[in-house]
Amino acid sequence: MGKLKYVLLDCDNTLCQSERLAFEACAELTNELLEKHNIDKRYTTEQLLDDFVGHNFRGMLKALQPKHNFTMSDEELETYVEAELGRVTKKLSEKAIECPGVTEQLEALQKQGMPMSVVSTSAKSRVVASIEKCNLARFFPPEHVYSAATSLNPPSSKPDPAIYNFACKELGVANGECVTVEDSKSGATAAMRAGIPCIGYVGIYGLEDGKEKMEEMAKVLKEQTKCKTIMYDWKDFPKHLKEVEDQL
């Protein structure tokens, strides 16, 4: 590797098949909250995924309040954020699996001496639970797991580029010398705004939602977030990495 000096990786549905599991827990808690506030609306896992994939639970709750005309106090908001983290972390520690082909590619990067870190919107404990269950923690020591929900004060969420800027500063590497992999519009937008070349990974949509959704997301990531290249399968990662570097 020449111009690229660091590989940054999203976690949910990029390294680990965890997003749907997390949103199952989110839907349960969200519906409890709406019932408490006498709101008739109820969300399925799929509806929350469509509306909020790539966002953390705090950001989702803030968006739901004006949408459904109710108000949460700061104390109530933090109570629900903490409750969601506990439920999601437990579910991921029991059920998360890696996205197909991830381990092989991380092992190859490690052998090449290429440093890697996770840069996620999700809370750090949730990310660690996922990568530990997927046997990927050996690639990412805790100090190299960066979370928009945990590492930043105040907390943030992609598409805000703050977590990418923070991670690069902590790692002592220029944004433009990194490459990242993202599966969502919000994540890829955060990378774009941070000036970090992004590989859009859409293979997870083919696994969970079918070819039509996969192609739809490929178009979104390529056209709307300016991903440098679109990856359908992790086995093709070296090819896409070279393609990104050739564009620098």
What CATH number did the domain enclosing 203 receive? 3.40.50.1000
95, 112, 135: which is the final residue of a domain? Answer: 95
The pLDDT score that the predictor gives to residue 165 is 98
1 inside domain: no
What's the average pLDDT block by block, 10 residues per block, for the chain (248 residues)?
Answer: 88 94 92 96 92 84 95 96 93 96 98 97 94 97 94 94 98 97 96 98 94 96 96 98 94
95, 117, 140: which is the final residue of a domain? Answer: 95
The pLDDT score that the predictor gives to residue 248 is 86
Q: Is the same domain home to 50 and 143?
A: no
Q: Is the same domain home to 38 and 111?
A: no
State pTM to two decimals: 0.87
The pLDDT score that the predictor gives to residue 9 is 98
The pLDDT score that the predictor gives to residue 26 is 92
76, 95, 114: which is the final residue of a domain? Answer: 95
Q: Is the same domain home to 72 and 195?
A: no
DSSP string, the chain: --S--EEEE--BTTTEE-HHHHHHHHHHHHHHHHHHTT------HHHHHHHHTT--HHHHHHHHHHHHT----HHHHHHHHHHHHHHHHHHHHHH-EEPTTHHHHHHHHHHHT--EEEEESS-HHHHHHHHHHTT-GGGS-GGGEEETTTTSSS---TTSTHHHHHHHHHHT--GGGEEEEE-SHHHHHHHHHHT--EEEE-HHHHHHT-HHHHHHHHHHHHHTS--SEEES-GGGHHHHHHHHHHH-
The pLDDT score that the predictor gives to residue 1 is 53
Q: Is the same domain home to 110 and 224?
A: yes
Q: What is the number of domains present in the chain?
A: 2
